[in-house]
Amino acid sequence: MGKHNASGREKALIASGRGRRKGNSAKTKWMWIGLGAAAIAGVLILLFRPSDRGLTEITAAEAYDQYQRGAFFLDVRRQEEWSGGHIPGSVVIPLDELAGRLGELPEGRDIVVVCVSGVRSAEGARILAAAGFSPVSSLSGGLKAWDAAGYPLEQGVP
């Protein structure tokens, strides 16, 4: 018994795209299911990704400009790190305590979040933005960039 040979009519239907070949419909069905699942996953990622609205990273020069205009500087390092050197007038709330101490922050005022290198400050700024604080900035490069630019630092507790 050999292969089934398609009739002239079946060949014409297949050639015109109106006929079906066995196996293709299952592959097409799974392709559409896969594409649909990918589209749904993409929408969910967009809907549930962390929001960075009102959050920006700023350079040391931009932070200094904010400093001179009276922005609130929040240092998210540990207390002992802050005591070793910090921006004058900055307030320290360690990153791991920040979510529980949001009531200590001013509303309606620019907030610049700082740390030593900019990693913790970016995370702290995200926490503030998610809690509705705006505008919130993170000092890119942290206190290392601030100090390298020659901006003021003080040590100890004022």
- Residues annotated as part of the active site: 115
The secondary structure of residue 86, as a DSSP letter, is B
Backbone angles phi, psi at 141, to 5 degrees: 85, -10
| Amino acid code (one letter) for 151 | Y
Burial of 58 (0-12, 13-18, 19+ CB in 10 A): middle
Q: What is the dihedral of CA 137, 144, 93, 156, to 10 degrees?
A: -140
